[in-house]
Amino acid sequence: MKNEATAVQVQSEIPELQAVDIEELLVVCRLGGQEFGLFANIVTEIIAIKQFTRVPNSSDCIDGVINLRGRIIPVFNLRTRLGMPEVGQDQYDNQSLMVVDSDGDDASLLVDQVADVIKISTRDIDDSAAKLGRNGSDGLVSGTVTIDNRLITLLNLAGLLGTEHPEKGRA
């Protein structure tokens, strides 16, 4: 597996790298009927949903924090962050947490389901979705890729966690 710098480079420099054929692994998750992807070398682990502690006055997209083997990790609700409707309690119990490494800081993303890990070529990434609507300013989406008739939206981790816009805080 490539080092973390490669995934960050691919994510932030997609237009330049489309001309280069680099293979990357992508972790694909589902929210509702849509599929989203994050580069595999920033996903450190996938865990079943566990109890988390709510944090007063936190951002709407932060459900709380978990204690994962002594590390306190924020839980970002990906549905809320992407402006999607919440799920019912019966669906909530089946969700997963994708633990990610953002420049040395751990965070977790609450998703409906982790579908699979696939190999993509950077040449196949279409960055036009990153320029549409609020994505252009928020940086939540870095592009799309179509694999076997599946349209997968590539997520920008820094935009999701709010680290691209320090004036907005972490979410």
pLDDT, tens only, 44-95:
999 987 788 999 998 889 999 999 999 999 999 999 999 888 876 656 667 8
Nearest alpha-carbon partner for 164 in 143, 146, 144, 137? 137
Tell me the fold of 24-165: OB fold (Dihydrolipoamide Acetyltransferase, E2P) (2.40.50)
168 CB-near residues (< 8 Å, 6+ apart) = 162
Specify whether the CB–CB gap between 39 and 25 falls below 8 A: yes
| DSSP-assigned beta bridge partners for residue 101 | 106
Please tell me the pTM assigned to this model.
0.79
Tokens 């320029």 sit on residue: 131
Q: What residue spans define the domains of the chain?
A: 24-165
pLDDT in tens, 94-126: 789 999 998 888 999 999 999 999 999 989 999
Dihedral angle at the C-alpha atoms of 85, 36, 132, 14, nearest 10 degrees? 160
